[in-house]
Amino acid sequence: MTDSARIEDDPRRLRVTNARRVVVKFGSAALSDESGHLAEARIHAWCEIVAAQRKAGREVIIVSSGAVAAGMAALGWERRPTGLHRLQAAAAVGQVGLAGIWRNALGAHGLTAAMVLLTRDDMANRRRYLNARATLTTLLDEGVIPIINENDSVATDEIRFGDNDTLAALVTNLLAADALVLMTDRDGLYSANPQTDADARLVPFADADDPSLDAMVAGAAGPLGRGGMITKLNAARLAARSGAQTVIASGLADGALARVFAGDAEGSLLGTDLEPMLARKRWIADQLEARGEIVIDTGAVAALRERGVSLLPVGARAVSGEFARGDMVRVVSVSGEPVAQGLVNYASGEVARLCGVPSERIVDTIGYRAEPELLHRDNLVLL
């Protein structure tokens, strides 16, 4: 990282300026006023900017925090609760008001809003993942602005994202967005905590995967939020895996969002040189837990690693676990070394019968042939 580097000096800025599809996340602190209520005037100002971007042909997806904050205000609670069920109750109350404010603010500019609530389980389940992507893509095709939030009213500790920064990054991956913008109550990423270190300076540009950034992010979230700068850094790194650039900027500064879209040196740009991965492979790499394992011989290991081919049943030697067609399985060598993971074309019982069988004998062995491969190379990632 070069301290003197500025966003406008780096060509990756152009990937934000020219981004066709952008995910913008508004944090609780940026959405709330000093009393803890939703800052409706601020939301209306943002929607005016979003409308201008939509008119220019850019697709904008909004990830909005604020449901718990809105619910707290409606319920008369002064402090964010810690109990899961009280959090869920506040979110259930606040989600209604939050959706209404976004709908009205966008509607004032002739735009239609759609509220979409997600949990981590929606991203981990292949069918729901594809359904969420298809729904969001359809909304964008129809000119609708999706407003996405975590489904806090039903999420549990085991399945909730934990912060909307992570949710926004996963949505960026889900939709293969070009850029992620995190609007918070800070000007961007600082070299140290500016509240305690007078020498702290804004980092205008850095590579998202720069390890020196880890020492810069510390501290807990504010009273209305779950995240902090560390979650924003992690979100930028997650978004970078699909080739997206991330900008961290202040939602409290007038015109900041417009300046981000214009490509000005606003906030911190956490860039990446990575090229976007195929959406299916991105999901395979990031979202699924393996249902079982397929052990393959040395020849199959070499074929996968050196030639990038599909896994044929003739290269399989054993199978463990119970899985169905379409589940994710891990592929390992005879010594147990992880080789790959991917979506399997046959159930575990069928794979067990197909081990060592040439593809032309699949029908003779199990009575039908769905595919000639156990795992197609388009549904497989090397480990």
Domain-terminating residue out of 266, 282, 298: 282
Residue 126 lies in a domain: yes
**pLDDT value of position 15:** 64
Residue 2 lies in a domain: no
Residue 107 lies in a domain: yes
**pLDDT value of position 361:** 96
Residues 187 and 322 in one domain: no
**pLDDT value of position 158:** 45
Residue 221 lies in a domain: yes
**pLDDT value of position 194:** 80
Domain-terminating residue out of 247, 282, 317: 282
Print the SS3 string covering the chain.
CCCCCCHHHCCCHHHHHCCCEEEEEECHHHHECCCCCECHHHHHHHHHHHHHHHHCCCEEEEEECCHHHHHHHHHCCCCCCCCHHHHHHHHHHHHHHHHHHHHHHHHCCCCCEEEEEECHHHHHCHHHHHHHHHHHHHHHHCCCEEEEEECCCCCCCCCCCCCHHHHHHHHHHHCCCCEEEEEECCCCCECCCCCCCCCCCECCEEECCCHHHHHCCCCCCCCCCCCCHHHHHHHHHHHHCCCCEEEEEECCCCCHHHHHHHCCCCCEEEECCCCCCCHHHHHHHHCCCCCEEEEECHHHHHHHHHHCCCECHHHEEEEEECCCCCCEEEEEECCCCEEEEEECCCCHHHHHHHCCCCHHHHHHHHCCCCCCCCECHHHEEEC
Per-residue pLDDT of the chain (383 residues; tens, 9 = 90+): 344 334 445 555 666 788 899 999 998 889 887 766 788 999 999 999 999 999 999 999 999 988 888 888 889 888 878 788 888 888 889 899 899 999 999 999 999 999 999 887 787 776 788 788 889 999 999 999 999 998 766 665 544 555 789 899 999 988 989 999 999 988 999 988 887 888 889 998 899 988 889 888 765 444 444 447 888 999 999 998 888 999 999 999 999 999 999 888 889 999 887 776 666 677 677 756 789 999 999 999 999 999 999 999 999 999 999 998 888 899 999 999 999 999 899 999 999 999 999 999 999 999 999 889 999 998 899 98
Residues 182 and 316 in one domain: no
Residues 277 and 301 in one domain: no
Residues 182 and 49 in one domain: yes
We report the CATH number of the domain holding residue 257 as: 3.40.1160.10
Residues 39 and 67 in one domain: yes
**pLDDT value of position 159:** 43
Residues 37 and 80 in one domain: yes
Residues 143 and 221 in one domain: yes
We report the CATH number of the domain holding residue 356 as: 2.30.130.10
Residues 54 and 116 in one domain: yes
Residues 308 and 207 in one domain: no
Q: What's the domain count of the chain?
A: 2
The domain containing residue 33 runs over which residues?
7-282
Domain-terminating residue out of 258, 282, 306: 282
pTM of the model: 0.74
Residue 12 lies in a domain: yes
Residues 171 and 200 in one domain: yes
Residue 1 lies in a domain: no
Residues 196 and 321 in one domain: no
Residues 167 and 253 in one domain: yes
Residue 168 lies in a domain: yes
Residue 273 lies in a domain: yes
